[in-house]
Structure 1
């Protein structure tokens, strides 16, 4: 591989191998430490962001503004608690929309949510049927960016043995906002992109006008040149990253952010294995959609490797035995992919292909709004430690009324209880309802921060009668029959109104072919839902809900869905998620066109 133009960026290494067992109760000393830390962070946020346009124009903050009287008093925590109510995205929308006005002026958006102009604007993946949301993201001092630094370090560490990392992140963007100064000149190029893309750009100082230069570079520790991260076509993006990773025998870590994207990554290698091996043998790159503008840059770091090609050809792409990924990547030790909550259905297939010797890790809970939590224990990818140094994170008991009176601080939560996360962020959001539900499972004995399991989106539920069935209940029910369907890989749920009684319709892609006799599956899913949700059970007994339907999709359907969404929304590759609950008609039609068969049981049809 060529060495000229390599980017000399080496992030610090994060080690969470030896995280202690969480404790179940806080000591008085740890509780006091959490209070002091919260006070310090809140004082900084108030001092910094109270100068913003939003803070001074948003009417529900009037009581807090008046109580502050232009200062940060010692009792700021008490004032904040008593005067600031919960907020939602629509409260911020009129302000955020100013960035997208024609010929936007610096004077209209400077200091809008936080001091200065944002470095980038994160957009949501927009897969739940609603309008894409936008979140201005500002550059903050190092002491208020520890979660960003730790996440970046864990996402692309430097190997102690010379191993390489395959980091499957996009550096593309949906748009560029160019606010004009008083002379009518562009003052700044603000990319509108994925949170991961923008964070990488901000952390490494990448300025959008220099993208053509960055596309010629290569980070020494990475398998693919940066040009691969500028490929807009999702299938081409995955193929090129996989190609460069497979050509490198020392690939030690693969990072795709989400488990569903990791599935697309290895599926592309399995299905196009002969083509990949031919490219490695001959030193060629195919003419794929979306790579023309970076192909010459990629070729700088690409050459024929007949020896590696022969090694791969000998191994082949038979994945019936566990550990295929370890066979083709002999040095592979770690896969980084969020695999909790709605991403857990992919785990059986992933672990089959990874084998027992490859460790699955997660970076944390990183959303467009903020960094919520970091991975806590390398041995348990479902455990996360809440970040308490960059944002104010509060907890709304899901059994209490949905207002600020039900909020608890980190030192007040209880192990075993479920809470909706509420954020006050560095980027100017105040007691913002994130919508994510977590369960507290303990506290870090070193600093007292809560250790959590991610459960679900509070808004991601389905209601067909008078019941409400949650994301975790929907997931649990289908996973009870996973093996009976040939191992569930991915799925989503829609309302099925074809019969007299409404039913939940599961749309499932499986790892293996459907067994000959799966007629019992709908009834077993039905039984699991009744056992998990008494309201569902009641609505069934009163004749309002029928037995769920189960629809088997063509293999590769959800990968096609991600590709379709990226193209239809005009967003960059790398972070599109399939909504667990589908209401959007276009998505419904997309899935129906790819149905192989419906699993019909004896009680599947209403009498």
Structure 2
């Protein structure tokens, strides 16, 4: 086995000139993949074997017995085969009893030190809880550089240094839900771990931002960024977007905007449009309005703010008229890149945001990031659907979606088949073992430089709606809406829920559109119905049998999904910046909230 100290230098991610993926692994690439997996697994076992979870978890009992040693620095040569034969798939329920120890009152340091990995976590990531389920928590530990290459690459891409002096508008939150502070025998805190978004915690860990020094950080402005750090500590979502938008608008040299998700970028654009005159007045007079959630950072913001009548006059001439595409380039002539994840369900806002951007601004994604781990990085600037699996920090395996849902259906990277669909399974630096991520990807090739898989992201495995015997997936629902988007006035965002108002149940599509519905809309429900029948054989059978009726279509007030994100941030006490609208809504609270924002139900044409 390779030593855990083995250095690994993955190829630089130059997405501007990415080589075309190869369709077959050469013997050299296959050997490189296997060697890297052995190196990572050796590191994970030898390092995380000191953890409480490794020692006590029933899910790893067979693995512990198979290793037949108490000295995990001496690992068998066939470690991967031992791992493959003795570790089953796991889900969050296997970890929750351990992770919950961080939230006991009081939290004793002796109970949580070395819990999932050595030492104490730097932060605890929380999921966004979009599907109505309980929030999940993922302790995040600091690792050596050679086991953190994906973090370094992601951070470099998220806030690059311009060669021409341009500025970056980075719309990330540094807030947190709470701080876990384990205490020693004398009841003295030994660590301060913010419970926050994965993006917030990763930034903190990458640059060494320790929570007790937050008051100091709020007085800083990074020279390459448009906004002071104080703007990232605003808990109110609309105020958070307003302040980032205001500082960016005042900076004519803004070249890059990074909002993590395309939906947040869309919300930012709408705040800029709706509050344009207010912002221009602020720029002209050197004032900042008193907005909800900004009292504690107002003075820190003001120290970096000054009147700029010349810029204000320029902006008044431009106006907030967005009818012609490329409005953002008129605000910022040097704007060249928007960084925002736009794959999967986030793709629905693309027509609207690309209209604001115009053809001269490139939309990029950092990759596929989740609360559990970094999965993949953007591969090719010319093809936004291509991602390269990281594979340098964690063990990533592939569960055939047509195989039994156990470890027998897993394939390592070098055995995954091009064109097949897989659920991603992770064994992470942070102590999760063969954890089912729930994301479905398709293998489309391999990076010719190091053999890592190149993938398309498809959908969440368990995001679907079922009213009879059919199962309609996220991808099918998204494609159905896309097929009628223009007829509805360009659908920006949507969700689906069951409609039980009538004898025969149906799908209810709740849509927010960029424009008013043009022309005759009564045919749209039938078109959605026909599309779903063609895309899903069981939907066709059940609808023909009278078990599923023609869908209902509902139009929401403009800005509803942005308000939804603000509502969830307040009700769930989570940070601004990572709230996703669930594609399929089941819970009554969200359903009733959306119904209150409905302005029209499209009446279906008579049969």
Q: Return the TM-score normalized by structure 1.
A: 0.97
Question: Distance in 1 between the 2:508 and 2:606 partners?
Answer: 14
Alignment of 1:156-305 (within 5 A): 156-305=159-308
Q: Against the structure 1 CA distance between its residues 102 and 494, is the aligned structure 2 distance closer, same or farther, given a 3 Å change threshold? A: same
1:578 aligns with 2:575: no
Q: Is the 8 A contact 1:547 1:603 kept in 2?
A: no
**SS of match in other structure, 1:586:** helix
Match of 2:7 in 1: none
Query: Shift of residue 374 of structure 1?
Result: 0.5
Question: Distance in 1 between the 2:55 and 2:453 partners?
Answer: 33
1:49 aligns with 2:48: yes
Q: Is the 8 A contact 1:247 1:308 kept in 2?
A: yes
Question: Distance in 2 between the 1:454 and 1:182 partners?
Answer: 48
Match of 2:66 in 1: 67
Alignment of 1:257-406 (within 5 A): 257-406=260-409
Question: Distance in 1 between the 2:200 and 2:364 partners?
Answer: 20
Question: Distance in 2 between the 1:450 and 1:186 partners?
Answer: 44
1:90-140, Cα deviation, whole Å (9 max, x unpaired): 100000000000011110000000000000000001121000100000000
Which one of 503, 506, 511 corresponds to residue 506 of structure 2? 503
1:555 aligns with 2:558: yes
Q: Is the 8 A contact 2:219 2:300 kept in 1?
A: yes
Question: Distance in 2 between the 1:300 and 1:138 partners?
Answer: 35
Question: Distance in 2 between the 1:502 and 1:113 partners?
Answer: 45
**SS of match in other structure, 1:401:** coil
Q: Is the 8 A contact 1:338 1:381 kept in 2?
A: no
Question: Distance in 1 between the 2:59 and 2:218 partners?
Answer: 46
Q: Is the 8 A contact 1:14 1:153 kept in 2?
A: no
Query: Shift of residue 603 of structure 1?
Result: 5.0
List runs of 5+ in structure 1 lacking aligned partners: 1-12
Q: Is the 8 A contact 2:13 2:379 kept in 1?
A: no
Question: Distance in 2 between the 1:31 and 1:540 partners?
Answer: 48
Match of 1:10 in 2: none
Query: Shift of residue 162 of structure 1?
Result: 0.4
**SS of match in other structure, 1:308:** helix
Question: Distance in 2 between the 1:357 and 1:551 partners?
Answer: 34
Superposed structure 1 runs of 4+ greater than 4 Å apart: none
Give the aligned CA root-mean-square deviation in angstroms. Answer: 0.9
Match of 2:515 in 1: 512
Query: Shift of residue 60 of structure 1?
Result: 2.2
Match of 2:17 in 1: 18
Question: Distance in 1 between the 2:38 and 2:530 partners?
Answer: 48
Q: Is the 8 A contact 1:253 1:333 kept in 2?
A: yes
Q: Is the 8 A contact 1:523 1:603 kept in 2?
A: no
**SS of match in other structure, 1:294:** helix
1:535-579, Cα deviation, whole Å (9 max, x unpaired): 111111111011111100000000000000000011111111101
Query: Shift of residue 14 of structure 1?
Result: 5.8
Alignment of 1:455-494 (within 5 A): 455-494=458-497
**SS of match in other structure, 1:176:** strand
Q: Against the structure 1 CA distance between its residues 453 and 337, is the aligned structure 2 distance closer, same or farther, given a 3 Å change threshold? A: same
Query: Shift of residue 51 of structure 1?
Result: 1.2
The count of residues paired between Structure 1 and Structure 2 equals 592
